[in-house]
A and B are shown apart, each in its own frame.
Chain A
Amino acid sequence: MNLRDRQRAFASALFTGTVPEGVDPRGMAVHANNYRSQLVACLRDSYEKTALWLGDGVFDAAASRYVERHVPSSWTLDAYGESFIPFLEQAYPADDEVAELAWLDWHLRRAFSGPDADTIGVGDLAADDWDRVEIDFVPTLRFRPVRSNAVAIWRAIADGVSPPAPVAVEQGVGARVWRNGLSPQFASMTADESACLDLALTGASFGELCDYLGRTHDQERTTRIAGGCLGAWTAEGMIRGLRR
């Protein structure tokens, strides 16, 4: 057997839990155990709060099913759990908070070692023509709409207090994750803020955000919401610059 065939047969056996031809099954058992236990441990590490929410037994069972179906391909183990969020969405279709907790876990971890960026302060918020200003966000920023109170659950687990019961939240509400300096952050967003962030991330100008808000709010409220978003995003270290 040439080396490529040997390695293909060995890898196939490792991923399927079998023993390749001519190999001591006792030694193969060590590698099979290393492979599976390391991947389950990796998922538990990447999805720490999700694991605490589900409980060790339930989480490990889900992780083992994921490992059976997903062979790692990246050079870094950190990337292994990338498809675990849609896997949990399918596994827990009636429990929105599970995949949403996992989304927070995953993106907070990504933000932890994501690209660095300098940010502007509230004092840098100046423009001659705000209508045309586009917002340049830090590269670690991610957001998603949420259907549950996963943000409050995640925060309670992190604080070591009893988490609230899962409940549905208003349609359009969202969550955002980013890194401020060296510290990963997360926050929930109202439906208005969530829509504004979605627009801003696709390149909409500040004027276009106001136009969007103006469809459902009067001018005073539109100005207050848009200004509030910009002020909060700046103060919380989400903006690295304004494109004028």
Chain B
Amino acid sequence: MSHPSPIPFHGFGLGLRIPHYTDFLEAPQPIDFLEVISENFMVDGGKPLDVLMRVREGYPVALHGVSMNIGSSDGVDSHYLRRLRRLAERVDPLWVSDHLCWTGIDGHNSHDLLPLPYTGEALDLVADNVHAAQDALGRALVLENPSTYLAFPETAMGEAAFLRELCARTGCFLLLDVNNIYVSATNHGFDPDDWLERLPLDRVRQVHLAGHSRGRDMLVDTHDAPVPDPVWALYARFIERLGDVAVMIERDDSIPPLPELLAEVAHARDLADAARQHVA
């Protein structure tokens, strides 16, 4: 199998959500690309696909999934992948991404991003699944680091080392969610800069920026709030080292009016410009 060449830097984008459909259909907006949740459009027809294809006329689109179940001992679901491929052929996306996690086993689906034990056995399994998914989709996958709330006693390596080896074995790319790194680092007490140091930065295709909330015992990746200052600060440090990489604001709940999110996109762009000047 041959994967298409990597698509380079695509600027600064936004996750497309229903309250903003009209904004994007009625007038050009100052963003470079949109990301959509794949599963919302893996449907037979109707308004969702109609809107997506009209939006696609004006913007490059990335497909971001939550149900590939790439870390499951069940293996990947060929029915799911056929539907995703059909959507990708229709949309011609910048790339197709999902999460380094599992969502279910034995035919059940939690619809939650469940954590993996970072072991050699898990690495072998996920690498096999990524190969199978890439073959089924005919393209390289982009995988996102999830927020994690627990670790397993059998864990043998760090998440960044796991991702590094996964990229080396499969040729997949990475979606770096800065909020998720912040949430995981806070919950588990590790240094996010050290985490980044261990990551293969040349494999990072996209960055997510989002907010979180404080649960009773730990931070929770709710994506329902503006990007908080500590996540902006981490992004400002990361983007210096990442260079030109697609950056996106991701809001999944408590969706505000579009201008509020466009202001966050503009801030992400400003910080990247400042980092570029600093490096130069």
A residues adjacent to B (C-beta < 8 A)? 1-4, 6-8, 10-11, 14-15, 22-24, 26-31, 34-35, 38-39, 42, 71-77, 80, 111-116, 179, 182
Quick check: is B169 within 8 A (CB to CB) of the other chain?
A: no
Q: Contact at B46–A31, with CB atoms within 8 Å?
A: no
11 pairs of residues in contact across A and B, judged by CB atoms under 8 Å: A7-B102, A7-B114, A14-B110, A22-B152, A31-B112, A72-B111, A75-B79, A76-B67, A113-B45, A113-B49, A114-B46
B-side interface size class: 35 or more
9 shortest A-B CB distances, which residue pairs? Answer: A27-B150, A27-B149, A116-B45, A113-B43, A4-B73, A26-B217, A115-B44, A113-B46, A30-B149
Known: A6-B152, A72-B108. 5 other contacts (CB 8 A): A24-B150, A72-B111, A80-B111, A112-B47, A112-B48
Contact in complex: B80, A75 (CB < 8 Å): yes
- Of B28-36, B117-125, B234-242, the stretch lying at the interface with chain A is B117-125
Residues of B within 8 A of A74 (CB): 109
Known contacts A30-B149, A76-B42, A116-B44: A6-B110 contact under CB 8 Å: no
Q: Does the CB pair A15–B108 fall under 8 Å? A: yes
Q: Which residues of chain A are within 8 angstroms of B119 by Cβ–Cβ distance?
A: 3
- Are B105 and A4 in contact (CB-based, < 8 A)? yes
Main secondary structure of the interface of B (DSSP, over half): loop
Measured between beta carbons, the chain B residues less than 8 angstroms from A31 are 110, 112, 114, 149-150
Task: Determine the main DSSP class of A at the interface with B.
Answer: helix
Is B153's CB within 8 Å of the partner chain A? yes
Whether B39 sits at the interface, judged by CB under 8 Å, is yes
CA distance A4 to B71 in the complex (A): 10
The verdict on A7 contacting B72 (CB below 8 Å), with A2-B121, A35-B112, A74-B109 known, is yes
Q: Is B4 an interface residue (CB 8 A)?
A: no
Per-residue CB contact flags for chain B residues 144-176 toward chain A (1 = under 8 Å, else 0) read 000011111110000000000000000000000
- Complex contacts, B259 vs chain A, CB 8 Å: none
**B104 in the interface (beta carbon within 8 A):** yes
Nearest chain A CB to B249 CB, angstrom units: 22
